[in-house]
Each structure stands twice: as C-alpha cells, then as structure tokens.
C-alpha cells in the first residue's frame, strides 16, 4: 500500500523530502560573506545582462517594495466596484443576491459614482500591504534560504516559499488593517461615511484605536493562507511552465515572453488563493460592519454555507488581481533592471550525492 501512495505524495507540489542528506564532513554554516546559489548564478549572468543592483542588497529590497506598492495598490483600486459588491453580498445576502443584482441595486441607490466608494482606503491600505508583502518576502526568502543552506534550500523550496510569504504577510496585515476597517465601513454601512476623511475620525470617536485593529486577527486568518498559496503556487507553477509547457529555456525567452508566463502562473495561483481565503474574508467583512462582535461569533452565525457567499465574484476578482499583481511586480523588476533569478535547479553537489552525475 505504501509503495502505491509514496509516488503520489512525491507528485504533490507541496511535497518535502523525508530524509536529510548527510554530508561527509561537518556542515559548513553560511556566513554573511557567503552568497546563496541564486546570487552566484546571477553574478555569473551579469556578463550578459547589466543589473542595477546586487541581489539581496538594500536597493534591491527597496525597489521590490516599490513594485509591491504599485502591484497591490493599483490592482486593488481598479477592482473596487467588484470588491464593493462582493462585500455587500457577504454582509447582506438578502438584498444583494448575486453579482449582477448587486451592481444593479448599487447603481440604482447610489448612482455610478457609488461603485467607487472606498477607493481611497483601498489604495492607501493595499499600497502599504504590497510594500511589506513583496519587500519582506524577498528578505525572508533570502534569509531562510541562507539558513537552510544551498542543498536543503532546493530540496525544501516549497516550504521555504511558504515560510517566507507567511512571515511577510504577518507584517503586511498590520499595515493594512486600519484602511481595511475604514473601507468596509464606507462600503457596507449606508450613511455611515462617504469618504476616508469622514470615516476615520468617526471610527476613532466611537471605538478608539481598537476600531482600526479589531479585524487584524481575521485578516491574518484570511491573508496569511492566501499569501502562502499565492507565492508558493506561483513559484512552483512558473517552474512547471518552463519545464513542461514553454518550448525553450527561460534564458532564451524574451522579456515579453517571460512576462506572459508570469501572468499565466499568477492567474492559476489566484484561483487557488481565492478558494483558500474566502471563508475568512467573509468573516472580516461582517466583523468590520458590526460593533461588539468577535470573529468566532460571526463564524458561528454565518455557518458553513454563509462563509462561501460571494465566492464566484472573489474568484474572478482575485484571479485577475493576482495575475496582474505578478505581472506588474515582474515588470517593475524588468524596468529597474533588478536581478530576477531563474527557476531553481538542483545544485551540482546534490546531483553528485544522488548519483545523477558522473
């Protein structure tokens, strides 16, 4: 029975090896002056392409953060109308029965301009989130990769992506929480406030600073699994596309072709992200609308069926959103001539240990 299950387990993209490689001598720890494999390969490639900074430098992290600001801030703001309808379907499913019905009711009551409600907190909040999400992901990815060492970083690369993205999102949600709370109030409570300038002082006067952070725990519940799936699925999908679908190596692809692969991988990752994070998203929407409720109380009241309301709208929104985010982020890297490591390959030392080379 085990012999039939083991091969299937190894095909799982989240598979991690059940063994540790034993080195001949004492393990050499990676010190500050010792660069990871990706850094060495990028240095070797610099003869063919001139980079604007070193991989893992402060300038590299800063420009990655800029890419995150643009990718998250612009895309989330662009889909505010769909996000508004999705939130209203979650908190008032009797009134907003479907996507099209939700748009129709909103336009009838608030006019076309009503579809843009909450754009300001969306832009500010998700720009801050993108800065931390993408910037810190690069930081933690390199940090954890150095801690694991060259061989284990390759063997456990999916776990590396999961750990780095979860760590980054923890801080990103703290940056997002205040604006997310204001956005939901504006979008789901008719007459509460029409602008961010109206909502912030009113929220602070009613509940104090807690009004802006009471949703941070549900945000972690929603965003950390979402981001873990977003980054790990994207990284492994890119690897699979270049290995099985794209008819030539990445090094032979033009920048435009590489960006197309980025967009496709981002959309695939986005669909999985939407499904994984939707129940917690429903809780966040209801929690920020109501006063005095806890996440567990909202979850029990919604029930299993209730937390999946608006899933189709979220799949459309998050799939498109995630694809565009990765496309913009990668485009920023291309524009600023940042190092862009190719899909990981097995280190030569590991190939020798496994007897894959002579």
Is the residue at 350 inside a domain?
Answer: no
Res. 20 pLDDT band, cuts 50 70 90:
very low
Is the residue at 20 inside a domain?
Answer: no
Q: CB–CB of 323/266 below 8 Å? A: yes
Is the residue at 64 inside a domain?
Answer: yes
CATH number at residue 120: 1.50.40.10
Across 21-25, 87-91, 218-222, 241-245, which has the greatest mean pLDDT? Answer: 241-245
Among residues 349, 266, 263, which one has the least CA distance to residue 27? 349
Q: Taking 60 as the threshold, does the pLDDT of residue 2 lie above it?
A: no
CB count within 10 Å of CB 348 equals: 12
Is the residue at 160 inside a domain?
Answer: yes
Q: Taking 50 as the threshold, does the pLDDT of residue 9 lie above it?
A: no
Is the residue at 229 inside a domain?
Answer: yes
Is the residue at 33 inside a domain?
Answer: no
Across 113-127, 161-175, 262-276, which has the greatest mean pLDDT? Answer: 161-175
In sign, the C-alpha dihedral spanning 13, 19, 25, 31 is: positive
Containing H/E element for 109?
Answer: helix 99-110
pLDDT score for 49 = 62
pLDDT score for 290 = 63
| pLDDT, averaged across the chain | 83
pLDDT score for 292 = 62
Q: Taking 50 as the threshold, does the pLDDT of residue 17 lie above it?
A: no
Length of the chain, please? 358
Question: 166: domain range?
Answer: 58-340
How many structural domains are present in the chain?
A: 1
What is the average per-residue pLDDT within 156-175?
A: 96
**What does the block give as tokens for 198?**
């109206």
Q: Residue 176, by phi and psi: left (phi above 0), alpha (psi -120 to 50) or beta?
A: alpha
User: What is the C-alpha to C-alpha distance for residues 121 and 135, in angstroms, rounded to an integer?
Assistant: 21
Is the residue at 24 inside a domain?
Answer: no
- Name the residue with tokens 């990445």: 250
- CA 20, chain centre distance (Å): 30
DSSP code for 244: I
In sign, the C-alpha dihedral spanning 91, 93, 97, 101 is: negative
Least confident of 32-46, 96-110, 161-175, 312-326: 32-46
Res. 118 pLDDT band, cuts 50 70 90:
confident
pLDDT score for 167 = 97
Per-residue model confidence as pLDDT tens digits over 217-228: 888 988 898 899
Res. 6 pLDDT band, cuts 50 70 90:
very low
User: What is the C-alpha to C-alpha distance for residues 67 and 329, in angstroms, rounded to an integer?
Assistant: 5
Across 61-65, 201-205, 292-296, which has the greatest mean pLDDT? Answer: 61-65
pLDDT score for 336 = 95
**What does the block give as tokens for 79?**
């889909």
Is the residue at 48 inside a domain?
Answer: no
pLDDT score for 168 = 97
Q: Taking 70 as the threshold, does the pLDDT of residue 41 lie above it?
A: no
């Amino acid at each position: 029975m085990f012999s039939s299950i083991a091969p299937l387990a190894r095909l799982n993209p989240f598979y991690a090896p059940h063994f540790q490689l034993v080195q001949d001598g004492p393990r050499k720890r990676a010190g500050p002056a010792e660069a990871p494999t990706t850094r060495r390969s990028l240095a070797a490639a610099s003869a063919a392409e001139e980079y604007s900074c070193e991989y893992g430098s402060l300038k590299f992290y800063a420009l990655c953060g800029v890419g995150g600001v643009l990718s998250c801030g612009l895309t989330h703001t662009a889909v505010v109308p769909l996000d508004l309808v999705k939130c209203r379907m979650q908190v008032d499913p009797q009134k907003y029965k479907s996507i099209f019905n939700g748009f129709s009711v909103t336009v009838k009551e608030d006019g076309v301009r009503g579809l843009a409600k909450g754009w300001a907190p969306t832009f500010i909040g998700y720009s801050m989130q993108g800065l931390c999400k993408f910037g810190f992901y690069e930081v933690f990815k390199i940090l954890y990769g150095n801690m694991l060492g060259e061989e284990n970083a390759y063997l456990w690369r999916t776990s590396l992506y999961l750990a780095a993205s979860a760590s980054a999102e923890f801080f990103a949600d703290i940056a997002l929480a205040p604006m997310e709370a204001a956005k939901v109030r504006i979008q789901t409570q008719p007459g509460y406030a029409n602008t961010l300038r109206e909502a912030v002082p009113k929220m602070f006067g009613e509940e104090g600073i807690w009004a802006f952070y009471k949703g941070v725990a549900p945000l972690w519940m929603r965003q950390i699994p979402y981001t873990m799936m977003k980054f790990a699925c994207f990284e492994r999908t890119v690897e699979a596309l270049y290995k099985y679908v794209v008819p030539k190596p990445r090094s032979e692809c033009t920048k435009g072709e590489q960006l197309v692969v980025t967009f496709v991988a981002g959309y695939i990752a986005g669909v999985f992200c939407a499904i994984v994070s939707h129940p917690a998203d429903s809780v966040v929407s209801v929690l920020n609308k109501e006063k005095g409720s806890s996440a567990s109380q909202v979850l029990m009241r919604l029930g299993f069926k209730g937390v999946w309301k608006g899933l189709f709208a979220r799949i459309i929104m998050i799939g498109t959103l995630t694809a565009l985010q990765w496309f913009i982020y990668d485009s920023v890297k291309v524009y600023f001539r940042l190092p862009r490591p190719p899909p990981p390959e097995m280190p030569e030392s590991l190939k020798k240990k496994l007897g894959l080379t002579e």
